[in-house]
Structure 1
Amino acid sequence: LILLLRTVRVTEISQADCYVSLWLPTAAIEKCRTKTIRNSNDPVWNETFYFRIQSKVKNVLELTVYDEDFATPDDHLLCTLFDTAKLPVDRTVLLYFKPSSTVSSVRSVSVRSGRRGWRRAQILEFSSLIHKFLLICKICACVCFSNCSCHQDLDMRFGFDLCSDERAFLGKRKKYVASAMKNVFHLQEDLQDHEVPVVAIITTGGGLKSMTGLYGSLMGLKKLNLLDCITYISGLSGTTWTMANLYRDAYWSQKDLDSHISEAQKQATKCKMGCFSMDRMKYYNKQLCQRKEEGYRTSFIDLWGLMIEYLLNDGKDPHKLSDQREALCDGQNPLPIYVSVCVRDNYSTQDFKEWVEFTPYEVGLLKYGAFIPAENFGSKFFMGRMLKKLPESRICYLQGMWSSIFSVNLLQIWGLSHSSEDFWKRWTQDKIDEVDEDPVLPTRPHELRTRMYTPPGTLSSALRGALTDRFSVAQHHNFLRGYQLHNDYFENEHFCQWKDTVLDSRPNELMQNPDHLGMIDAGFFINTSSPPLLRRQREVDVIIYLSYTTGSHTSSLDKACKYYSEQKIPFPKISLSDEDKKNLKECYIFQDSDSPRCPIVIFLPLVNDTFQEYKAPGVKRCCSEMEEGKLDLTSRCSPYCMFSVSEYNILNNSQMIMQALQTAVQRRRQNTCC
């Protein structure tokens, strides 16, 4: 690639020391760069760079201009992204790139190609006011090689379908659900497989309060004989503590829950100061050293996980995520799904987050359809093959990650009092300028537009780092290392369903594949565990939405509804009046009758309404019992009080819950007939 550049820096007193960096990560391991032309506002390069590319992957050439400095880091002036898929074969093309606004940017580029690979001659002009740049290109030869499929040899699974283990589980679970619904609704005949609705429990986080609240809700469903109607339970933050404890028992949902609840009460009300004793500190140090020797990158989140282990147990908990398969072998319990989000440095959670689901079978990133066996999470991978097997993490380390309250940053704190991050984004984000091409080439939907990125100044970059820096993030080996995106990735419907980050149109950075994935509590984005259950393949008919938040109960539901609307994921519209939001009832049902794929949502906020006057549905409190109904749900003193009111709210709204389940059965039958 032959590159010539002319620069005029009228705003600078000193002359520039410019060079250009070329990055095509799909073709070269390292970035290429020109030599530096010193003390010149009119530099010219005549250098050649060779690239051999694979047309099946997304090849985006990044041209970045720097002003070299000796005492300080080089000034990043501008970056231009060009999708090479736009280049036609066997035809020379002359293009003018015209920025839609005036920026300090590339002005002219000339590109030619050789037979064996790409050889480009580029002429770039820069000035403080940019008008256009020129691109001349020609592809002389395309060489195709036939490759046999290697998916069968991989140690990970690619695809958006459910794994074979989950499909087998669903077949077994349907028998429990069909039998339970026949008994509850007094049906004369058994439900056929296609008539059995998929019912899922979704929770919000909230520490010990959400943990005890979920115990109460499950007890209520158990008393109504509806627990066997549930196919999935998803959780985040504190509700994962409940789930992890229950799934130690392979048949927990088939037994009385009193023993589990009594144990949870004992742990929730015990003195917490013991976790800071000298013996515990020695134990923490020993466990963290052992974890580091095993090959894990330890962080404060691992220490937090060990503290959770103490808070929820009397001793060491050897339980692991894959051990929970025993509780699913006959379909005897709902399938647990734990939710987290993957984040990156220098980006707020709003700007970059990727949903991660954990089941006893697999761990996977929803957007890419990339899954690995649960027991291999944390092991080292490269291009789909496991390079080094690490011992599976104990469940306490995952609980620390799923409920990582220490992953907060300043932007998150700002969001507690302000609904938007736009104020800070104006000062800290890259300026993006769309580039118009003249003449306009025939384009295809998967081709990315040419863009120019102007980075913020030094002060803004420092401010951005301070605002987005998190105290601690769980670090696990990246099982996507070595992969690149397909050339048509931007048109993949499954990818687009979860396409919600600022890097989705910058594939080089999106697939930069850091050695480790940073994962945090999903509550830092939207306090809900619903995304994995809205995968089309799970075909969820009814969602029992259990909210245990101490603030606005509708906040997470409203945010989830807005998010799914933007992502075009079927979800009913949430319509609550201001009066309803001020004085919430115990149960609401939301549905969209016009969309057969849209699940019915049963919303159960944790409110103390009729429980103040009734100790059980239809049983009024006597005068001596009225004090027991006056629960302060915002108090931090006794989180165990959440158990009674959450159980009561389920029992008191049994008719609405059963009505929604019956509607789901009818919809299943109607859709089958259609």
Structure 2
Amino acid sequence: MESLSSEGPPGHPHQEEAAACCQLTVRVLEARRLRTTDLLSEADPYVTLQLPTAPGMTFRTNTVTNSSHPVWNESFHFLIQSQVKNVLELSVYDENVITKDGICFKVFYDISEVLPGQLLRKTFSQVPRWGQEELDVEFLLEKTSDPPENLITNNVLVARELSRLDVFVDRAENSTVAAGQDELELVLKGSYEDTQTSALDTASFFSFHYLAAQCTELSGHLKSSRGDRCNPATPAGRLSVPLRPLALGEKVTLDVPGANAPGVRLQLKADSCPKELAVRLGCGLCAEERAFLRRRRRVAAAALKQALQLDRDLREDEVPVVGIVAEGGGARAMTAFYGHLLALKKLGLLDCVTYLSGISGSTWTMAHLYWDPEWSQKDLEGPVGHAREHLAKSQLTAFSPERLASYRRELELRAKQGHPTTIVDLWALVLESKLHGQVTDYKLSGQRAALERGQNPLPLYLSLNVKENHLDTLDFKEWVEFSPYEVGFLKYGAFIPSELFGSEFFMGRLMRRLPESRICFLEAIWSNIFSLNLLDTWYDLTCSGEDWKQCLQDKIQNAEKQPAGSSGGASQAEGSWLQPGTALAQAFRGFLTRRPLHQRSANFLRGLQMHRDYRAHEAFSTWADCQLDATPSQLTPQQPQLCLVDSGYFINNSYPAMFRPGRQPDLILSFNYSLDSPFQALQQMELYCRAQGLPFPRLELSPEDQRQPGECHLFSDPACPQAPVLLHFPLVNASFRDFSAPGVQRSPEELEAGRVDLSPATSPYALFNMTYKEADFDRLLSLSDYNVRNSQATILQALRTVLKRRAPEARPSGVQT
């Protein structure tokens, strides 16, 4: 188990517990007033039953022909774990011979309402506006004599026991099988591997990893070299082995049935898998980050003493946490971010910063800086000159025949290593060529060298996990954080070491380790411009700030409400986005919401199950903001892959990374890189934080601030001491036009250098422009540098304010640092 630390709350460490499984019997009785979906005949209904927490177990009733009132009276059995959220999916279909079977209606049922030993009868009704269909079902839950299952949980996710089935395919010495003629295909539904194939003419060995409490079977059939099955309709041509009776460690030998496999035998052996997880289940900070914070406090304490001219050394608990939050904006964000950091370095304030977070284009700056483990201790002229040189190059250089050939070789190598490759990986290589002009071998885990002595701030990169199809970003998004130590989901409290991102996991165990990706492939994820679907585009072009606020409020309010009838485990009809409709409507919906060019990453949450009380967990409920959060089967652990996109599709800043338990920044420096909306992302984040119960200062902007923003705006909320003090730096050209440095008036010859065009219509810093003239680069860099240095007094005053808050006498009783 994770151990508690005096470093501050590690945040809900995982725990181990033993819990018995139960048998659930579901008896499908009858349905009434069913509508046909093919319009040519009466309904031919059947019911499917699926329980995602019992993987591999999907049942179906018989079809009752030409009936709107079918009677089935069929029973089905599931082995379930009571500590996880068991939501049964019941779907009533209309069987069609020519077209795809149509769905009449579907319900989710939380079986926590079913009490052991008590027969419960339920009538499920369709949502009134869709019809008056009804389905009658009986439930019975019974205890089993099986030993309890050992679980690992953070009370959001549950890792269950895994078993491994080793399969050795061999043949007798005197048997003959024609080389290359036949193969044996073995299937274990719900397992990590699912399907594996073995040639009959050679001995082979492989394994299946599956849920130890899974009540399923290993099935197999012979398949010819042409791909067709041998004797598919006869029992003699098929193999079926129930897994539950297999004793751990005991070998079982059986013959492969069928005339095409004379003397071919299977040796089966079931064994338990190690219980240790490769996924860390815990919502707080990892041990490495907590150790970094101790080291960084010592560096920050010395920097604060010098910057504020203190007459004594600061104790560790007096050192405020200062975080930098950088917005996205392509090459504009990258360039301006260099300027902001350059100014902090000149002011002697960079060592006061604990965290450095960014999204999209600002991550290009961060990723490049951390090539050098000592970057913040230097003058930054090297990285700035590097960026200037490569932004001045023509974009066409990245598409030369030599470059295209190198991209192909790199993608082939990546595919050979086992990574899925998409156009986003090509974008990564183009971006690397444009920004660096060479192949770089830097990796995210390699940035740990820059943190060994606390000599630099901890970099945090943020992305969004979304749905590949059917939903826009506002409807479903989950924050995913990347740091040199870990990659993980804020909502689920699940993290893996950064070097394992892209490797394959199942039920929290590492199944297949792949080589760590070079950081350019991660930069393409953080600035993934290819996953935008048409609904996202339409929203971005047409939705006003007020529309965004109303839309977000509606979605969060809907997420906070219990699903219709879900209280106490009652039925929930499926949401309107999944309701049956015409083929044309379905196709149009897919056209609007499909992400045809998204990046694919292996899902390290795969197989993990939701705890029965996951919605009540503080960490989960903080980030739960869509209706799908009430439906476990629609959440990320059920997906084979992640779909990661640029966070700017939702909110163009990286604030959520600052609100992890254990970080609690005292002061945030917010850097804006928008040409036309200097406060939009900030206002969106205020609304989002307030809706989620996160402490955030109140943004009180005067009409003058909105009309003509200044170089720095200070926001705080004395009524909420948990909210950080916020300094926001819009991308504006105010006094820089007349001053080359704070207090230094420009001469007539220098006025041209102060003219930085930030007009959205004519600016050379447009979002999709990746080539800057050196003069334009220097102007933007100098402007950002000046705006921070011109706000030195405000920054120092904010530091004094949060330092005073940190004083022991200023802390409320019971509040720890």
Q: TM-score, normalised by structure 1?
A: 0.90
1:14 to 41, 65, 69: 41
2:309 to 182, 186, 203: 186
Matched position secondary structure for 2:604? coil
- Taking the aligned partners of 1:415 and 1:114, their CA distance within structure 2 comes to 47
2:491 to 367, 376, 396: 367
- Taking the aligned partners of 2:612 and 2:562, their CA distance within structure 1 comes to 23
**Corresponding residue number in structure 2 for 1:644:** 782
**Corresponding residue number in structure 1 for 2:193:** none
Note if contact 2:44-2:64 (Cα within 8 Å) is conserved in structure 1.
yes
Does residue 496 (structure 1) correspond to residue 593 (structure 2)? The answer is no
Letter paired with 2:621: C
**Corresponding residue number in structure 2 for 1:147:** 150
**Corresponding residue number in structure 2 for 1:159:** 282
The 5 Å alignment of 1:58-73 reads: 58-73=85-100
Matched position secondary structure for 1:655? helix
1:450 to 547, 569, 572: 572
**Corresponding residue number in structure 2 for 1:576:** 701
Matched position secondary structure for 1:202? strand
Letter paired with 2:457: P
**Corresponding residue number in structure 2 for 1:314:** 437
Matched position secondary structure for 1:381? strand
Letter paired with 1:107: E
Q: Bigger relative contact order, structure 1 or 2, given CA contacts below 8 A and separation 6+?
A: 1
1:265 to 385, 388, 396: 388
Does residue 588 (structure 1) correspond to residue 710 (structure 2)? The answer is no
- Taking the aligned partners of 2:681 and 2:139, their CA distance within structure 1 comes to 53
Which of these two proteins has the greater Rg computed from alpha carbons? Answer: 2
**Corresponding residue number in structure 2 for 1:197:** 320
Matched position secondary structure for 2:414? helix
**Corresponding residue number in structure 2 for 1:328:** 451
Judging by fraction of residues, say which structure has more strand: 2
Does residue 4 (structure 1) correspond to residue 29 (structure 2)? The answer is yes
- Taking the aligned partners of 2:720 and 2:495, their CA distance within structure 1 comes to 30
The 5 Å alignment of 1:186-585 reads: 186-344=309-467, 345-419=469-543, 420=547, 435-436=564-565, 450-453=572-575, 455-458=579-582, 459-511=584-636, 513-585=638-710
Note if contact 1:235-1:339 (Cα within 8 Å) is conserved in structure 2.
yes
**Change beyond 3 A, Cα 1:252–1:47:** same
Matched position secondary structure for 2:675? coil
Instruction: State the 1:473 CA deviation.
Output: 1.3
**Change beyond 3 A, Cα 1:491–1:190:** same
- Taking the aligned partners of 2:149 and 2:30, their CA distance within structure 1 comes to 39
Matched position secondary structure for 1:536? coil
Letter paired with 1:402: W
The share of aligned pairs that are identical, in percent, is 42
What does the per-residue CA deviation read over 1:540-568, in whole Å, with 9 as the maximum and x for residues that have no partner?
Answer: 11110000122311111111111111111
**Change beyond 3 A, Cα 1:671–1:104:** farther
Note if contact 1:365-1:371 (Cα within 8 Å) is conserved in structure 2.
yes
**Corresponding residue number in structure 1 for 2:107:** 80
- Taking the aligned partners of 1:520 and 1:396, their CA distance within structure 2 comes to 15
Q: Which runs of 5+ in 2 are unaligned?
A: 1-25, 154-158, 160-274, 766-771
- Taking the aligned partners of 2:374 and 2:688, their CA distance within structure 1 comes to 36
Note if contact 1:98-1:436 (Cα within 8 Å) is conserved in structure 2.
no
**Change beyond 3 A, Cα 1:175–1:325:** same
**Corresponding residue number in structure 2 for 1:124:** none
- Taking the aligned partners of 1:107 and 1:415, their CA distance within structure 2 comes to 38
Note if contact 1:98-1:435 (Cα within 8 Å) is conserved in structure 2.
no
**Corresponding residue number in structure 2 for 1:126:** none
Note if contact 1:57-1:486 (Cα within 8 Å) is conserved in structure 2.
yes
- Taking the aligned partners of 1:376 and 1:453, their CA distance within structure 2 comes to 36
- Taking the aligned partners of 1:279 and 1:320, their CA distance within structure 2 comes to 24
Matched position secondary structure for 1:111? strand
Q: Which moved more, 1:152-161 or 1:609-618?
A: 152-161
- Taking the aligned partners of 1:112 and 1:522, their CA distance within structure 2 comes to 44
- Taking the aligned partners of 2:76 and 2:636, their CA distance within structure 1 comes to 23
What does the per-residue CA deviation read over 1:429-482, in whole Å, with 9 as the maximum and x for residues that have no partner?
Answer: x9x996559xxxxx66xx576345451413332222111122411111110111
Q: Which moved more, 1:104-113 or 1:324-333?
A: 104-113
**Change beyond 3 A, Cα 1:31–1:93:** closer
Does residue 170 (structure 1) correspond to residue 293 (structure 2)? The answer is yes
Q: TM-score, normalised by structure 2?
A: 0.75
Instruction: State the 1:532 CA deviation.
Output: 1.1
Letter paired with 2:539: G
Q: Which runs of 5+ in 1 are unaligned?
A: 118-141, 438-442
Q: Which moved more, 1:354-363 or 1:561-570?
A: 561-570
**Corresponding residue number in structure 2 for 1:26:** 53
**Change beyond 3 A, Cα 1:337–1:497:** same
Matched position secondary structure for 1:405? coil
Note if contact 1:80-1:453 (Cα within 8 Å) is conserved in structure 2.
no
**Corresponding residue number in structure 1 for 2:726:** 601
Note if contact 2:319-2:806 (Cα within 8 Å) is conserved in structure 1.
yes
The CA RMSD over aligned residues, in Å, is: 2.4
Note if contact 2:30-2:73 (Cα within 8 Å) is conserved in structure 1.
no
